[in-house]
């Protein structure tokens, strides 16, 4: 089980007892406008956690404060040949959101030995895809992607990627200073 402690944020691999917090977060209209999903139940989430907890191609984390206050979710999945997709990302506090993304990249490149991380973010979710740029991702293009529970919704996504080399050479000093400040 991977747990990573940052300055103000902790990433812990998701467990069944996290299901209720995840459901409240994902079903909240203020948080899920880019998820394109039907409402989920605690049983749905428990079953999803059970199914995915030992997946070789994914790590799913809850985001908490140092005091264990639940703040969101973040994942790396579809890991194939050292490259994985960053997503399942909802964070309710901006400082925890930024630090969680940074910590996930550290996990990917320093613990999992990955070569690259990419994301496909809804073009309308400008706050998130611009945050990725500030954390070292490079825009690779745009494409239409199918999203949602029913698989019949298409959105334009911004495709971004960061390599292990880019992560290691990126200057995160401003990000760390910002996290410490708040």
Burial class (CB in 10 A: 0-12, 13-18, 19+), 119: buried
Mind listing the domains of the chain with CATH numbers?
A: 3-181 (3.40.630.30)
- What tokens were used for 62? 């809850």
Q: Over the stretch 148-174, which tens digit does the pLDDT of each residue have? A: 666 677 888 899 999 999 999 999 999
Would you say residue 113 has pLDDT above 90? yes
Half-sphere exposure of 114 (CA within 13 A, CB side): 28
Q: Over the stretch 126-140, which tens digit does the pLDDT of each residue have? A: 999 899 999 999 999
Q: How confident is the model at residue 81 (pLDDT cuts 50, 70, 90)?
A: very high
The pairs formed by 87-91 with CB atoms below 8 angstroms and a separation of 24 or more are 87/119, 87/120, 88/60, 89/128, 90/25, 90/26, 90/31, 90/32, 90/35, 91/63
3 state SS of 35: coil
Burial class (CB in 10 A: 0-12, 13-18, 19+), 47: middle
Q: Over the stretch 27-47, which tens digit does the pLDDT of each residue have? A: 998 877 777 677 889 999 999
pLDDT at 36: 63
Supply the pTM of this predicted model: 0.92
Task: Compute the radius of gyration of the chain from its Cα atoms.
Answer: 16
Q: What is the mean pLDDT of residues 71-83?
A: 96
Contact between 157 and 121 under an 8 Å Cβ cutoff? The reply is yes
Q: What is the mean pLDDT of residues 62-67?
A: 97
* Residue entry with tokens 């760390």: 176
Return mean pLDDT, the chain.
92
Contact between 75 and 26 under an 8 Å Cβ cutoff? The reply is no
pLDDT at 122: 86
Q: Give the CA distances from residue 44 to residues 6, 26, 49, 75, in Å, rounded to whole numbers and listed in that order.
A: 30, 12, 9, 18
Q: What is the mean pLDDT of residues 56-60?
A: 93
């Amino acid at each position: 089980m991977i747990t990573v402690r940052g300055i103000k944020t902790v990433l812990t691999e998701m467990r069944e007892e996290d299901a209720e917090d995840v459901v409240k977060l994902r079903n909240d209209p203020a948080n899920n406008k880019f998820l394109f999903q039907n409402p989920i139940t605690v049983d749905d989430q428990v079953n999803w956690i059970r199914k995915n907890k030992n997946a070789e191609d994914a790590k799913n984390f809850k985001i908490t404060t140092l005091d264990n206050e639940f703040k969101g979710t973040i994942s790396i999945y579809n890991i194939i040949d050292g490259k994985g997709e960053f997503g399942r990302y909802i964070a309710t506090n901006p400082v925890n959101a930024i630090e969680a993304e940074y910590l996930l990249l550290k996990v990917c490149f320093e613990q999992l030995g990955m070569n690259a991380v990419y994301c496909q973010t809804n073009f309308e979710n400008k706050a998130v895809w611009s945050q990725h740029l500030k954390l070292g991702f490079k825009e690779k293009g745009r494409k239409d992607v199918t999203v949602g529970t029913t698989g019949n919704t298409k959105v334009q996504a911004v495709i971004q990627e960061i390599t292990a080399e880019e992560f290691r050479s990126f200057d995160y000093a401003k990000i760390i200073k910002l996290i410490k400040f708040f």
